[in-house]
Amino acid sequence: MASLICLDNRLQQEALALSQRFSLLLADESLLAEPGFHLCLDENGLSLQQGAVRPGKKRTQVQVDFSQGAVAHRRKFGGGQGQDIAKAIGVSAYKPSVIDATAGLGRDSFVLATLGCQVTAYERQPVVAALLQDGLNRGLSDPEIADIIARILLQHGSSHELLVAPQDPVLLADVVYLDPMFEHDEKAKAQVKKDMQAFRQVVGQDNDADDLLSRAWDCARCRVVVKRARKARPLADREPTYALTGKANRFDIYVKAKVAPLPL
């Protein structure tokens, strides 16, 4: 069971509520003496903090923040509907509903919500889900992005269980989006930012991701989109209808129908 360290005694009740919602074990601050990254709660919210830091060395911290940094820069200058992810999802005058079945730290969910999509985000890893929910909660208090955050609904749980097709086809999401944690290229490891290094250390690999493709297909009305490393094999070795390939990543698109509103 993952641990949660409360660094502010005034937040003990909040820490208890978080531990219950995300199945976290409340731990003493002394755990920060152990190597690795640890989930911590303080007056600034939840963050992953690096343990066993030598005296004088700055402790690496990772926090989900949609108001500033790279996420905010992409919102303002990222290219809007010209982005590959927007093209892959099928964003146009019609803004499709999307299930982000491997939400992670929520960056793609936020991009899609910025483009006007209603996003249901699934995340099974408790530490990551807690970090994402904390970031969403803080984002709601920022008037500049509150309307975007309101279009994202986080559900903590495994997509292997949550991806169940509704009996009424009208309730299907337009698009199901999959971005499983793929194995990182050793040659490019030095380029991975510290927050992603921490994320990979906590999450590991999605070794069961192949099983999600058929579930996603059943739960999508219009298409399934899978983000892959540029040269990676297709998920479940199933060739897509077509692909959009960038410098480092590729979007495999599995088409069922045109991304458009339901006929009246």
Q: Can you tell me the distance from the alpha carbon of 90 to that of 214, in angstroms, rounded to the nearest whole number?
A: 20
Whether 46 and 80 map to the same domain: the answer is no
Whether 108 and 183 map to the same domain: the answer is yes
Q: Is residue 106 part of a domain?
A: yes
Whether 131 and 157 map to the same domain: the answer is yes
- pLDDT for residue 81 is more than 80: yes
Residues spanned by the domain of 250: 69-255
Dihedral sign, Cα of residue 188, residue 248, residue 72, residue 174? negative
The CATH number of the domain where 7 resides is what?
3.40.1630
Q: For residues 70-86, give the mean pLDDT.
A: 88
Residues facing residue 243 across a β-bridge: 252
Please report the pLDDT score of residue 191 as a whole number: 44
Q: Encoding tokens for residue 98?
A: 């999307």
pTM: 0.92
Residues contacting 79, CB < 8 A, separation 6+: none
Q: Is residue 103 part of a domain?
A: yes
- pLDDT for residue 197 is more than 70: no
For the stretch 88-134, pLDDT in tens is 999 999 999 999 999 999 999 999 999 999 999 999 999 999 999 99
Whether 94 and 178 map to the same domain: the answer is yes
- pLDDT for residue 40 is more than 60: yes
For the stretch 201-228, pLDDT in tens is 776 666 789 999 999 999 999 999 999 9
Whether 131 and 212 map to the same domain: the answer is yes
